[in-house]
């Protein structure tokens, strides 16, 4: 679990140093990261606060302060394990994969509302969490909530990033999820947690459930 108090510049510097000990690791400087945040905020409508769309670990561990959350649907993007992970839920010894929003389809998740007076502090936390390496782009999106549509923020995959995986079949994806593990835990836990919190919202993501079934098949093969 990410703890809000541990999301700070010192921790980020330590993570980057550790990752670079094992090979090349592209990372944004603090100045570069904050420049992308300032650019996003300068072009956002913030009078009524900011809605943030969560589709993965934000569903159960947002680690930022919010006033409300609602089920939300985002059109034009879909969940996909398309980001190679060597930190977080992966390591050089046990590389894994992380979810991202890739282009195409639609996605159900949660929209979290940040109050206007908290936008500065909470987006600082969000950017330190999501924008360490530049593997995501902060995106202005339209979110469909219960009975209304709002402007919001989400983080989508940066297809130009060296850790982006453009194509991987379900079996290979599941194989990496079965073994991937880092200081935040295992990829298997990440998948199961995402599914569990979507189930609470009566949302079924066929792609995630198919991966979960593949993991069960791997386990059965190992036991036989």
pLDDT tens for 143-187 read 999 999 999 999 999 999 999 999 999 999 999 999 999 888 999
Identify the sign of the CA torsion 21, 23, 25, 29.
positive
- pLDDT (mean) for 76-101: 93
How many CB atoms are closer than 10 A to CB 7? 17
Residues identified as active-site: 130
pLDDT at residue 224, rounded to an integer: 63
Of the given ranges (6-15, 42-51, 141-150, 198-207), which has the lowest mean pLDDT?
6-15
d(CA 168, CA 40): 31
pLDDT digits (tens, 9 = 90+) for 44-88: 999 999 999 999 999 999 999 999 999 999 999 999 999 999 888
pTM value is 0.93
Percentage of the chain lying above the pLDDT 90 cut: 80
Question: Where do the H-state alpha helices sit in 87-159?
Answer: 119-130
Residues near 169 by beta carbon (within 8 Å), at least 6 away in sequence: none
pLDDT at residue 20, rounded to an integer: 82
d(CA 153, CA 127): 11
């Amino acid at each position: 679990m990410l703890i809000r108090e541990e999301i700070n510049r010192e921790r980020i510097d330590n993570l980057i140093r550790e990752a670079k000990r094992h090979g090349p690791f592209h990372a944004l400087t603090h100045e570069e990261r904050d420049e992308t945040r300032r650019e996003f905020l300068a072009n956002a409508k913030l009078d009524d606060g900011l809605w943030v769309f969560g589709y993965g670990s934000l569903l159960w561990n947002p680690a930022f302060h919010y006033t409300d959350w609602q089920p939300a649907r985002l059109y034009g993007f879909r969940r996909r394990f398309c980001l190679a992970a060597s930190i977080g839920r992966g390591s050089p010894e046990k590389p894994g994969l992380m979810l991202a929003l890739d282009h195409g389809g639609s996605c159900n998740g949660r929209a979290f509302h940040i109050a206007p007076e908290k936008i500065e502090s909470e987006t600082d936390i969000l950017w330190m969490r999501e924008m360490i390496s530049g593997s995501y782009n902060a995106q202005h999106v339209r979110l469909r909530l219960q009975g209304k549509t709002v402007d919001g923020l989400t983080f989508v995959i940066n297809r130009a990033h060296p850790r982006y995986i453009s194509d991987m079949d379900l079996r290979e994806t599941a194989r990496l999820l079965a073994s991937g593990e880092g200081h935040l835990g295992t990829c298997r836990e990440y998948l199961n947690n995402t599914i569990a919190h979507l189930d609470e919202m009566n949302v079924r993501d066929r792609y995630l459930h198919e991966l979960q079934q593949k993991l069960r098949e791997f386990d059965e093969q190992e036991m036989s």
